[in-house]
Structure 1
C-alpha cells in the first residue's frame, strides 16, 4: 500500500551533509539560475527553454501533491540550495516510481551531495511511502552519475540505444533500478 499522505506532507529528511525539504517557489532564484547552467542542462538532457513564469508556476504547484515528492537539496550547515531530487510517476498498483536528481551546477559536483540525497530519498520511498521499485534513466555521457547511482544500490537494467540527441550527436540512455529488498549501501 502506498502512503499518499506521506507524499502530500513530505517530511524533511536530514543526512550528514544535506537536508531534503519541500521544493516550492521560495527556490525560484536558484532553480532559475540552474536552468541557465549549460552543464546542468546537458546532464539532464533538457532541451526545453522555460520562461520565468513557467518555472514559478511549476515550483508553486509542488507542495501538497499526493502522487510525487519534489525535494530541494540543501546544505545542512548553511541551507544553501544545492539542487533538486524527485520521486515521480508513482504507480500505486505496482508500488513503483521514477527518480531524478539535478545539482544546481558544477560547483556542487563530486562532493557527495547527490549520493547522500539519493540515499535519503530511497529510504523515504521504500520505508515511508511503501514503494517496491524505483527506476531512473541516465545518459551515457554521465559516468559520474552512473557511479553515484551504483553507490546508492541501483543496478543497470537496460539500454535505450541512441534515445537522446544532444548537440547533433546521438546518445544512449541507460536504465537503472533498485528494489526495496536490494542492498542499500
Structure 2
C-alpha cells in the first residue's frame, strides 16, 4: 500500500526504496539532467548502491523523498530537505527531476510546494533556503512563484563547462509559501 501523506494533484512524495538506486544512478549519468547540479565523481552502479546503503535514515536533518507521478506511479525525481536544524528552524531544499520527458509538467513545482509545506507544518521549520545557478532562470522563476525571495549571491560559486557561474541564494519564511496551482516546472 502506498502512503499518501505527501500527495498533491500531480505527484506524491514518498521514501525511496533500495531498488530505486539504479534510477538515481542513471539520472546522474545524464549530462542534461546534471547541467546545473553539483556533479559527483564518476561512480559505478555498485558504488552508488553502497553510497545509498550508507545514507542516513530520514530524519529532521536529512529527508530524502522520491517524486512519484500519481497518474502512472513512475518515479521521476527526488526532493530533499537537508541540514535541518531544530534550534534555528531552518533547512535547505534540493530537488531535481531525472526523467527529462517529464520536465515542464508541473511535477517539480508541486513536489517543491509539498515538501516546503511539510517542512513548515510538520517539521515546524521557520525558513527554507536553497541555492540555484544564476543562469537557471526557469528554476528561479518557479522558486519565486512558490514564494522564495533572493537573499544573496555567491560570485563564481559554481563551475560548469569550463566557466564559473554565480549562485543565487533564495529563502522563504513560514507563511510565505504560495499555494497556487502548478504551471511550469523546474527543468532538471
TM-score by length of 2: 0.87
1:49 matched to 2:42? The reply is yes
CA RMSD of aligned residues (A): 1.8
State the alpha-carbon separation in 2 of the partners of residues 42 and 23 from structure 1: 23
Give the structure with the larger helix fraction: 1
Partner SS, residue 76 of structure 2: strand
Q: 1:32 aligns with which of 20, 25, 44?
A: 25
Question: CA 1:124/1:62 → structure 2, altered by over 3 Å: closer, same or farther?
Answer: farther
1:15 matched to 2:8? The reply is yes
2:169 corresponds to which residue?
Answer: 175
After the TM superposition, list the runs of 4 or more consecutive aligned residues in structure 1 that deviate by more than 4 angstroms: none
Question: Structure 1, residues 34-85: CA drift from partner, whole Å, max 9, x if none?
Answer: 0111111112131432332332133334573322110000110111011000
Unpaired runs of at least 5, structure 2: 180-188
Partner SS, residue 151 of structure 1: helix
Total equivalences in the alignment: 176
Q: 1:113 aligns with which of 107, 113, 119?
A: 107
TM-score by length of 1: 0.88
Partner SS, residue 65 of structure 1: coil
State the alpha-carbon separation in 1 of the partners of residues 124 and 20 from structure 2: 28
List aligned pairs for 1:1-185, cutoff 5 A: 12-62=5-55, 64-66=57-59, 67-185=61-179
Structure 1 residue 173, shift from structure 2 partner: 0.3
Structure 1 residue 140, shift from structure 2 partner: 1.5
